[in-house]
């Protein structure tokens, strides 16, 4: 798999129409969930604007089921549904995966898309523009580290990429085998003794292999938590709520269960081995 950053203008997209009507507003689509012929969106609007103007403009631009979730001085959280665009459908047909958050400003959306290796950037652009409703001014292949920096404007989650680089081939193989065998599930899908027997080593040796890999993984999780706590106690003036929320959300999602953090590392590892750029 490879990771693409795609900038596009869609004539059939309510989000883009809204960004053109509300000047100087930036929209972050933090959750995008396709359901049959429509797409559900949870979005944060940044800028100096009135909530009534946002909601009214969304409805005028063919958004429906519009609900205000939260409002602060410079941020408005809204959930709504829109008709699924031709570009989104085209990427789904190609087997691509769009990764939220999507960013919209001044009539342009920025998407991050995982694409199969055998599909060229030219083919992606061709499929997106085939109906004439979508224009793609820019498409670029990027690294996973670049994606994390762009999305979160922090280096928090790049720790997970560094974990992969620090794991030996044996440690990565061991942790992957344990995960796929259900060792990190509750109740466990296999025992330590079973893993040891499969690898032809003692139970004690197997435990040492796992602990060595787990120590590196959980060390990175602890670092994320400590950095996030520092921001909460001493917030930087440039730190906006969305960036902080993103990191808190991801930390809470991975810190509670051992199998989730292992799964994240294995996912990053899989992506790394499938792309020459990672």
- The pLDDT assigned to 8 comes to 93
- The pLDDT assigned to 254 comes to 41
Residues 6+ apart with CB under 8 A from 96: 113, 114, 115, 116, 119, 124
Q: What is the pTM of this model?
A: 0.56
Domain coordinates in residue numbering, the chain? 2-142, 153-274
Q: In the predicted model, what is the mean pLDDT of residues 64-90?
A: 86
Cβ atoms of residues 104 and 54 within 8 Å = no
Name the one residue in this structure whose structure tokens are 């799964």. 263
Cα–Cα distance list, 106 to 6, 103, 133, 182 (Å): 15, 10, 17, 47
Name the one residue in this structure whose structure tokens are 């789904």. 92
The β-bridge partners of 32 are: 41
- The pLDDT assigned to 143 comes to 77
- The pLDDT assigned to 223 comes to 64
- The pLDDT assigned to 162 comes to 65
Q: 43, exposed or middle or buried, with CB in 10 Å at 0-12, 13-18, 19+? A: buried
Angle CA 171–145–223, to nearest 5: 65
Cβ atoms of residues 183 and 195 within 8 Å = yes
Please write the tens of the pLDDT for every residue from 94-129.
988 888 778 888 889 999 888 888 889 999 999 999
- Distance, CA of 195 to CA of 14 (rounded, Å): 52
- The pLDDT assigned to 202 comes to 95
Please write the tens of the pLDDT for every residue from 43-62.
888 877 677 788 889 999 99
In whole numbers, what is the pLDDT of the chain averaged over residues? 77
- The pLDDT assigned to 252 comes to 43
Query: Bigger pLDDT: 142 or 270?
Result: 142
Phi, psi of 276 (to 5 degrees): -70, -20
Instruction: Quickly list DSSP for 20-62.
Output: HHSTT-EEEEEEEEEETTEEEEEEEEESS--HHHHHHHHHHTT
Cβ atoms of residues 75 and 245 within 8 Å = no
Please write the tens of the pLDDT for every residue from 205-250.
999 999 988 887 777 666 655 655 554 445 444 444 444 444 444 4
- Distance, CA of 159 to CA of 261 (rounded, Å): 12
239: preceding bond cis by omega (within 30 degrees):
no
């Amino acid at each position: 798999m490879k990771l693409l950053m795609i900038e596009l203008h869609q004539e059939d997209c309510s989000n883009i129409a809204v960004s053109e009507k509300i000047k100087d507003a930036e929209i972050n689509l933090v959750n995008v969930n396709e359901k049959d012929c429509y797409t559900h969106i949870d979005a944060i609007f940044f800028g100096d604007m009135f909530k009534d103007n946002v909601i009214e403009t969304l409805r005028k631009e063919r958004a429906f089921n519009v609900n205000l979730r939260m409002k602060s001085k410079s941020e408005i959280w809204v959930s709504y549904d829109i008709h699924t665009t031709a570009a989104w459908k085209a990427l789904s047909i190609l087997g691509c995966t769009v990764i939220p958050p999507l960013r919209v400003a001044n009539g342009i959306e920025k998407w991050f898309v995982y694409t199969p290796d055998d599909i060229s950037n030219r083919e992606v652009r061709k499929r997106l523009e085939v109906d004439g409703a979508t224009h793609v001014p820019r498409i670029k292949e990027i690294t996973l580290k670049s994606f994390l920096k762009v999305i979160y404007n922090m280096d928090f989650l790049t720790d997970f990429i560094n974990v992969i680089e620090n794991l030996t081939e044996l440690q990565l193989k061991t942790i992957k085998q344990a995960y796929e065998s259900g060792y990190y599930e509750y109740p466990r899908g296999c025992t330590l003794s079973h893993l040891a027997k499969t690898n032809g080593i003692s139970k004690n040796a197997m435990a040492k292999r796992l602990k060595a890999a787990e120590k590196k993984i959980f060390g990175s999780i602890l670092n994320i938590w400590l950095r996030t706590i520092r921001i909460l106690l001493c917030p930087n003036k440039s730190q906006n709520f969305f960036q902080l929320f993103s990191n808190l959300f991801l930390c809470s999602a991975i810190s509670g269960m051992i199998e989730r953090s292992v799964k994240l590392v294995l996912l990053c590892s899989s992506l790394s081995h499938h792309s020459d750029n990672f």
